[in-house]
Amino acid sequence: MEQGKNPEPTTTMEKIVSLAKRRGFVFPSSEIYGGLNSCWDYGPLGVELKNNVKRAWWKAMIQERDDMVGQDASILMHPQVWEASGHLQGFTDPLVDCKKCKQRFRADHLSTENCPQCGGELTEPRNFNLMFKTYMGPVEEQAAVVYLRPETAQGIFVNFQNILTTTRKKLPFGVGQIGKSFRNEITPGNFTFRTREFEQMEIEYFVKPGTDEEFYAHWVRVRFDWYKKLGINPDRLRLRDHAPEELAHYAKACSDIEYYFPMGWSELEGIANRTDFDLKRHTEYSGDKLDYFDHETNEHYIPYVIEPSAGADRATLAFLVDAYYEEPDKDDLRVVLRFHPTIAPIKVAVLPLSRKEQLTGLAKEICKDLRKHWVIDYDDAKSIGRRYRRQDEVGTPYCITVDFQSQEDQAVTVRDRDTMEQTRVSLIELVSFLHEKLD
């Protein structure tokens, strides 16, 4: 597995935030009211991008594997789940306050993320629980307290027996889920990298104890390769094994896949060997046996669990940052997002050379046809050069130009975003030509 080479950052977070806002990828949440700290909305292109990331994960991790199934658990769960999982007691970060400016910091991130600018003295760290609390039903009393889940994983553990009996899977098998999680982070920041509401793509992979190390290594590789296959520059990816003192008390091993974000190497995803901790605890707290009967050996045991846990927003941000290139173009700068075609929010743009009905009519017909296959954009405003630039800036892999010849020869010009090469393609072959390029 390649290890990143500590490359030069290709861009700054300011440029990414500005492009994201300008082109409709990500907006500050509730902006007309001044925004809400660390909350972001995905705009028309952002939602396509993030959906593509999630779809690619679901397809490769669930659909294409016969040892995986999916589920979608609810965000609100029985409060005892969080007692059993240890979150109520232990899902805390060390919080310190600056006595002078009153700002709050996460004690274990002081050197990397933030430091009191005022130079004031800090309080002793105290533990701050990151779970969001709310009330179920109309009465605001302690008995009605529920939590917004801080991870999707527990929804899988509590359904272990349901999934086992309904799918009749044999070990090893896994369950995957994509969904929102909430953490009242002390210091959110770096755009969508750390927010209080975010989406996770998690797998709990159940194995026979004793085979866990082999499957742990398998998943580290599978997950690392997934980012590479979708075009992330391997120089900006690395694996970081957790030191024994960093490990959660129940974990036997943990590795982070890190990406070289503009603020430096940071966690994209964690892969952990969680042993039998979770199923054991839920067995203990619920009284339901969450074990497995092995027909081959005729024994009951509690499986071990390998957990690859990724962030959909972090992955989306990494794809955005990684795709960003600036190139000299005459006296100007060409900004191009070199997304992998699977990830690109718009796959093809149709651009009639002029606004004359003769061209726009045909261009719109082509759009209608292509929309059955992909997300398509239509643009007839301003010069063709400007329109190519606009598509480059949002990472559209192919632009189709409809010109005055097109009616006659029933053909269009297809321009490649990366090579900028132009190919004349007949209308009859257009869909298959694009399928070959995009799929």
The answer to whether the CB of 434 falls within 8 A of the CB of 348 is: yes
> 270 or 303: whose CB is closer to ligand ATP?
270
Q: Least separation, in Å, of the C-beta of 313 and ligand ATP?
A: 5
> 60 or 310: whose CB is closer to ligand ATP?
310
Structure tokens, 1: 């597995």
> 213 or 267: whose CB is closer to ligand ATP?
267
**One-letter amino acid of 416:** D
Structure tokens, 236: 């900006």
The answer to whether the CB of 317 falls within 8 A of the CB of 193 is: yes
Distance, CA of 225 to CA of 223 (rounded, Å): 5
Q: Which residues contact 102 (CB under 8 A, 6 or more apart)?
A: none
Helix axes 312-323, 13-22, angle to 10 degrees: 100
Q: Least separation, in Å, of the C-beta of 122 and ligand ATP?
A: 20
> 199 or 380: whose CB is closer to ligand ATP?
199
Q: Least separation, in Å, of the C-beta of 100 and ligand ATP?
A: 26
Structure tokens, 420: 């900028």
Q: Least separation, in Å, of the C-beta of 166 and ligand ATP?
A: 27
| Percent of residues in the chain assigned helix, strand, coil, to nearest 5 | 35, 30, 35
Strand (E) or helix (H) holding 272 = strand 264-275
Q: What are phi and psi of 34, to 5 degrees?
A: 95, 5
The answer to whether the CB of 217 falls within 8 A of the CB of 253 is: no
Q: Least separation, in Å, of the C-beta of 65 and ligand ATP?
A: 21
For Cα atoms 88, 91, 97, give the angle at the middle one, nearest 5 degrees. 115
> 185 or 213: whose CB is closer to ligand ATP?
185
The closest alpha carbon to 55, from 174, 216, 230, belongs to 230
> 200 or 342: whose CB is closer to ligand ATP?
200
- Terminal Cα distance for the chain, rounded: 26
Q: Are strands 133-135 and 299-301 parallel, antiparallel or unpaired?
A: unpaired
**Using CB atoms, what's the residue nearest to ligand ATP?**
311
Which positions lie near ligand ATP, rule CB under 6 A? 151, 183, 185, 194-195, 198, 200, 267-270, 309-311, 313-314
DSSP string across 316-328: HHHHHHHHEEEEE
> 255 or 413: whose CB is closer to ligand ATP?
255
Q: Least separation, in Å, of the C-beta of 265 and ligand ATP?
A: 12
> 95 or 427: whose CB is closer to ligand ATP?
95
User: Distances in Å between the alpha carbon of 411 and those of 136, 357, 414, 427?
Assistant: 61, 17, 10, 5
Q: Least separation, in Å, of the C-beta of 160 and ligand ATP?
A: 20
> 85 or 401: whose CB is closer to ligand ATP?
85
Beta bridge partners of 56: none
Q: Which residues contact 337 (CB under 8 A, 6 or more apart)?
A: 320, 323, 324, 325, 344, 392, 393, 394, 395
Q: Least separation, in Å, of the C-beta of 317 and ligand ATP?
A: 9
Q: Least separation, in Å, of the C-beta of 360 and ligand ATP?
A: 43
> 281 or 347: whose CB is closer to ligand ATP?
281
Q: Least separation, in Å, of the C-beta of 314 and ligand ATP?
A: 4
User: How many H-runs (helices) and E-runs (strands) does the chain carry?
Assistant: 13, 23
Q: Least separation, in Å, of the C-beta of 309 and ligand ATP?
A: 4
> 155 or 270: whose CB is closer to ligand ATP?
270
